[in-house]
Amino acid sequence: MKPSVVAVIPARGGSKGLPVKNIRPLGGKPLIAYSIEAAKGCPLIDRVIVSTDDPEIQRVALEHGAEAPFLRPKELATDCATTESVLQHALTWLEEQEGFQVDILVFLQPTDIFRKAWMLKEVIRRLQADPNLDSAFVAFETHKNFWRITNGQPVRLLEVPYGPRQKREHLFREDTGLACATRARFIREGRRLGPRTSIVANSDPASLIDIEDEFTFWLAEQALTSGKRSVND
């Protein structure tokens, strides 16, 4: 029997950085529609669920073909609520209220719209191909140096010598909001990723745009309307 694959798109109504951002029109349609269309366009995904606390977001999600079978509890729609707790709630609801068994859960963040169809397919295929793999996620490949402050002192995260970009060891910025597939047992435990993971490397700079404020919304709008970038291709 083929493992069931369910996409969950968390979309709360109380955004402070950009009010009602999840249904704000962008390029002629609500922001959340991009993630719904990406998930529904993936032949490996069986169901597309939007988890929201907002009836208006629920209505828009339904209009664009997603399922929105519940309104998320208010305590899971605060600034302090974690994505992991929201995914866990959606999974538990489907299994307890519908008796629907989820095998692989795919997380999509509605503010990450510059994902490509191959990204969704690849994170799922890796889990389907390797039963020992727990999670697969998209990450941006970069050659930049990264630092952190430890005990008040700057500390370089990785000692990579300076030199030509092409010859430097790459680091990977985790972008699970673009596409992340994890076996359901880890989601039930409140975890986004299992211990055995696979990175799906991505180098498109547009994928770095995470729409969180007026500037990033404008940036995404410019990328779309200029024809420099498209989504879900």
DSSP letter string, 117-154: HHHHHHHHHHHHH-TT--EEEEEEEE----EEEETTEE
Query: 5-225 sits in which CATH class?
Result: alpha beta
Distance between first and last Cα of the chain = 30
For residues 166 and 118, what is the distance between their CA atoms, to the nearest angstrom?
Answer: 24
Domain spans in the chain, listed from the N-terminal domain onward: 5-225
pLDDT attached to residue 167: 67
pLDDT attached to residue 165: 66
Q: 67: which DSSP letter?
A: B
Q: What mean pLDDT comes out for the span 69-86?
A: 94
For residue range 9-35, what is the model confidence (pLDDT) as tens digits? Answer: 999 997 777 888 999 999 999 999 999
Mean pLDDT is lowest, of 46-50, 75-79, 125-129, for: 75-79
Q: What mean pLDDT comes out for the span 145-164?
A: 84
For residues 42 and 59, what is the distance between their CA atoms, to the nearest angstrom?
Answer: 22
Q: How far is CA 186 from CA 22, 190, 192, in A?
A: 27, 7, 7
For residues 33 and 232, what is the distance between their CA atoms, to the nearest angstrom?
Answer: 11
